[in-house]
Structures are given as structure tokens and as C-alpha cells.
Amino acid sequence: MAITLNKDALANAASLLADKKVARDARDDWSEHAPSSAEENAFIEKHGYGEYAKWHLGVDRSKSEDTKGRYSFPFGDFTRLHRCAVIALESRAAQNDHGSIAKAAKSLLDSMDGD
């Protein structure tokens, strides 16, 4: 897979952090807080894939722009940045050798925890 850091998504996450739109949830909460497939589909239908992409730190440019499979490493629920999501994606990115994504997640987490 050719997954790279989605810089537009990183900018969106930084903006959410600056605007204090952050859920400071517990480490293991992401499985409960992550949007369901139906919620993702409703968001895409209303806002399009361009906005959907801004909620994922990973992008695989070899896949079609109009597929959910192009985007990975979600960090929020379409309204807030979730600490639990950033923790989960940092770990998963590091385990799968996506260094730039893991580094970006670590930076976000440090910023969240430093507030």
C-alpha cells in the first residue's frame, strides 16, 4: 500500500485542536466513539469525499478518490478531534511502518496533552 500523510487532514486536526474541538476521551474509547459505516456514508452524502478525506491522516493515492478505501487513520467523529483515535492511529501507523503518519499523530497527541 502506498499510504502517505494527508496534509489537509493534519491541518484540519490542528484547526480543531486550536478551536478546542477536542474530545479528551480515554485510551480505549475509539471503538465506541468512531463513526459507524452508516454515519460515514451520511457524512459523505452530505459533504462529499473531499470533506471526508479531511478526517483521515492516511491517503492511498493509488485508489479512487471517490472510495472510502482511499482514506485511513481516522481521528474524529466529523465534529471533534478524539484523543482516543489519535492514540489508536499512532500505534497502528507505527506498527505498519507509516512513519510520517505516526509522527504527525504523536505531535497532535503532544499538543492535546500539553493544553
Nearest to 23 by CA among 73, 105, 84: 84
Look up residue 83 and give its three cell numbers: 484523543
DSSP code of residue 22 = E
Task: Note down pLDDT in tens along the chain; length 115 residues.
Answer: 589 999 999 999 999 999 999 999 888 899 899 999 999 999 999 999 999 999 999 999 999 999 999 999 999 999 999 999 999 999 999 999 999 999 999 999 999 988 5
Domain count, the chain: 1
**What pLDDT does residue 1 have?**
56
Give the Cα separation of 34 and 75 in Å (integer): 9
**What pLDDT does residue 27 have?**
80
Nearest to 106 by CA among 69, 49, 65, 89: 89
Q: What secondary structure does DSSP assign to 57-88, as a single string?
A: EEEETTS-TTSGGGEEEE-BSSSSEEHHHHHH
Domain extent at residue 72: 3-114
